[in-house]
């Protein structure tokens, strides 16, 4: 952190400020310029209360030189974090594909989709049991029953389960039934939830908030990591902009930016980004080429009848076609999907 002092600040006040900073365990390097005196703070400034400096009458400007996130920062952890989930990994050379319906609706629906997406090469099954709907009158999910149905689908197919948690009182239930706990866009800054998820060892898929900057998103990852859980997968799902043709605007540039700033795996959800089924394929392909570590795709056997997000869901056949195309692109990015022998074309 660098502090520029106002011109002609009294020496006594400068000394008092330096003392105040040094009491917090930081070293101060002072440079006396022609117009400005500059103080460089050396040490860990992440937890320093910046406003205690801002209110000081001799402070002109404070410049931060260090990102506030430490554990998620590539500077302190240059190698990619590779998270192991069952027989698979994310963040390394395997391309993660999570597929399944927006909401779990019935045993027939979820088991059927699970078998189809597995046959196409998906390694994980998604399905919402607790749904964060804009309207309280919309379908809220089958809740605990939905998690039970996901477990049946897992028994039938062996696919690990990804499902969204809405509140910290359900963590025990999710620990028993889910392999990757999803934190949705609406909960990206539910700090109580993030802290509690930091105390478990399951991988957390942290979606980017609708209006979150990349730094805010990484700070949310930091909340989980600072409590002891290093297994965070970041998921870009589009942000809200002035454009309203699409449901959200997929921030493709966030992929290389986050890969540069952080060592955590970054995956993309093109379904919630575009909000239309025909946008899923181009957005998914763009994500692979931009360097994503994986994708999350909504798949429904009968989108017209879906209880949520039917308009952005792919039919299993279309998903299968997308997988064949993704496979080729992923290989050019030095990523592989499942070993060929395990993939049967659907
Ligand atoms: C979802 O994955 O079904 C979902 C609600 O996503 P998001 O939090 O990105 O809106
Ligand atoms: Mn959805």
CATH label of the domain that carries residue 40: 3.30.70.1140
Look at residue 12 and tell me if it is in a domain.
yes
Look at residue 10 and tell me if it is in a domain.
yes
Task: Give the C-alpha separation, 328 to 336, whole Å.
Answer: 9
Q: Are residues 23 and 100 in the same domain?
A: no
pLDDT tens-digit map of 261-297: 999 999 999 999 999 999 999 999 999 999 999 999 9
Q: Which ligand lies nearest to the CA atom of residue 298 in the structure?
A: 2
Q: Are residues 36 and 152 in the same domain?
A: no
Q: Which ligand lies nearest to the CA atom of residue 308 in the structure?
A: 2
DSSP letters, 133-171, are: -SSTTS----THHHHHHHHHHHHHH-PPEEEEE--GGGH
CATH at 258: 3.20.20.70
Q: Of all protein residues, whose CA lies closest to atom 9 belonging to ligand 1?
A: 185
Neighbours of 114 (CB within 10 A): 29
Q: Are residues 235 and 276 in the same domain?
A: yes
Q: Are residues 51 and 106 in the same domain?
A: no
How far does the centroid of ligand 1 lie from the alpha carbon of residue 68, in Å?
Answer: 27
What range does the domain containing 32 cover? 2-63
Is a pLDDT exceeding 90 seen at residue 217? yes
pLDDT tens-digit map of 61-104: 999 887 889 999 999 899 999 999 998 999 999 999 999 999 99
Q: Are residues 93 and 57 in the same domain?
A: no
Q: What is the pTM of this model?
A: 0.91
Look at residue 340 and tell me if it is in a domain.
no
> Which of 271-300 are b and which e, b meaning 16 or more Cβ less than 10 Å from the residue's Cβ?
bbbbbebebbbebbbbbbebebbbbbbbbb
Does residue 324 sit in helix, strand or coil? Answer: helix
Q: Of all protein residues, whose CA lies closest to atom 10 belonging to ligand 1?
A: 185
> Does residue 209 have its Cβ closer than 6 Å to ligand 1?
no
Q: How many independent structural domains does the chain possess?
A: 2
How far does the centroid of ligand 2 lie from the alpha carbon of residue 316, in Å?
Answer: 16
Look at residue 211 and tell me if it is in a domain.
yes
Q: Are residues 267 and 142 in the same domain?
A: yes
Domain end (from 63, 91, 106): 63
Look at residue 77 and tell me if it is in a domain.
no
Q: Which ligand lies nearest to the CA atom of residue 164 in the structure?
A: 1
Which ligand 1 atom lies nearest to the CA of residue 131?
Answer: 5
> Does residue 102 have its Cβ closer than 6 Å to ligand 1?
yes
Exposed / middle / buried, residue 43 (Cβ in 10 Å: 0-12, 13-18, 19+) = middle
Torsion (CA) 94, 82, 273, 283 in degrees, nearest 10: -30
> Does residue 300 have its Cβ closer than 6 Å to ligand 1?
no
Which ligand 1 atom lies nearest to the CA of residue 187?
Answer: 8
Look at residue 253 and tell me if it is in a domain.
yes
Of 157-161, 194-198, 252-256, 334-338, the least confident: 334-338
How far does the centroid of ligand 2 lie from the alpha carbon of residue 336, in Å?
Answer: 26
Instruction: State what percent of residues in the chain have pLDDT above 90.
Output: 87
Q: How confident is the model at residue 127 (pLDDT cuts 50, 70, 90)?
A: very high
Look at residue 308 and tell me if it is in a domain.
yes
Q: Are residues 23 and 91 in the same domain?
A: no
Which ligand 1 atom lies nearest to the CA of residue 296?
Answer: 2
Which ligand 1 atom lies nearest to the CA of residue 186?
Answer: 8
Q: Of all protein residues, whose CA lies closest to atom 8 belonging to ligand 1?
A: 184
Q: Of all protein residues, whose CA lies closest to atom 3 belonging to ligand 1?
A: 102
Q: Are residues 39 and 96 in the same domain?
A: no
Q: Are residues 177 and 56 in the same domain?
A: no
Q: Computed from CA positions of residues 298, 300, 306, 310, in that sequence, does the dihedral angle turn out positive or negative?
A: positive
Place of tokens 């889910």: 178
Q: Are residues 24 and 151 in the same domain?
A: no
Q: Are residues 162 and 262 in the same domain?
A: yes
Mean pLDDT across the chain, nearest whole number?
94
Look at residue 291 and tell me if it is in a domain.
yes
Asked if 300 contacts 102 with a C-beta cutoff of 8 angstroms, the reply is yes
Q: Of all protein residues, whose CA lies closest to atom 6 belonging to ligand 1?
A: 184
> Does residue 270 have its Cβ closer than 6 Å to ligand 1?
no
Q: Which ligand lies nearest to the CA atom of residue 296 in the structure?
A: 1
Strand residue runs (E) in the chain:
2-5, 27-32, 37-42, 59-63, 83-85, 88-90, 96-100, 124-126, 161-165, 180-183, 204-207, 232-236, 266-268, 294-298
Q: Are residues 50 and 124 in the same domain?
A: no
């Amino acid at each position: 952190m660098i502090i520029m002092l106002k011109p002609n600040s009294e020496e006594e006040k400068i000394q008092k400020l330096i003392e105040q900073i040094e009491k917090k365990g930081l070293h101060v390097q002072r440079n006396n310029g022609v117009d400005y005196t500059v103080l460089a703070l050396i040490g860990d400034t992440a937890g320093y209360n910046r406003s205690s400096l801002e209110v000081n009458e001799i402070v002109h400007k404070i410049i931060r030189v260090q990102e506030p996130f430490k554990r998620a920062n590539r500077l302190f952890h240059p190698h990619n974090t590779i998270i192991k989930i069952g027989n698979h990994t994310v963040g390394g050379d395997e391309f993660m594909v999570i597929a399944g319906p927006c909401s779990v609706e019935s045993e027939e629906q979820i088991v059927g989709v699970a078998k189809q997406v597995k046959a196409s090469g998906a390694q994980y099954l998604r399905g919402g049991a607790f749904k964060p709907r804009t309207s309280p009158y919309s379908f809220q999910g089958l809740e605990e029953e939905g998690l039970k149905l996901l477990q049946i689908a897992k028994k039938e197919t062996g696919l690990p389960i990804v499902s969204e948690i809405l509140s910290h009182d359900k963590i025990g239930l999710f620990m028993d039934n889910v392999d990757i706990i999803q934190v949705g866009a609406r909960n990206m800054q539910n700090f109580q939830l993030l802290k509690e998820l930091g105390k478990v060892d399951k991988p957390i898929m942290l979606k980017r908030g609708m209006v979150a900057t990349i730094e805010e998103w990484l700070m949310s990852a930091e909340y989980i990591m600072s409590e002891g859980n290093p297994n965070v997968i970041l998921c870009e799902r589009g942000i809200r902009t002035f454009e309203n043709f699409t449901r959200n605007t997929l921030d493709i540039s966030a992929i290389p930016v986050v890969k540069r700033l952080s060592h955590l795996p970054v995956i993309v959800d093109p379904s919630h980004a575009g909000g239309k089924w025909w946008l899923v394929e181009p957005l998914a392909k763009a994500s692979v080429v931009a360097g994503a570590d994986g994708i999350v795709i909504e798949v429904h056997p009968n989108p017209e009848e879906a209880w949520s997000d039917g308009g952005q869901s792919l039919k299993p056949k279309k998903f299968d076609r997308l997988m064949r195309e993704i496979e080729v692109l992923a290989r050019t990015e030095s990523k592989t999907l499942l070993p060929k022998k395990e993939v049967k074309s659907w």
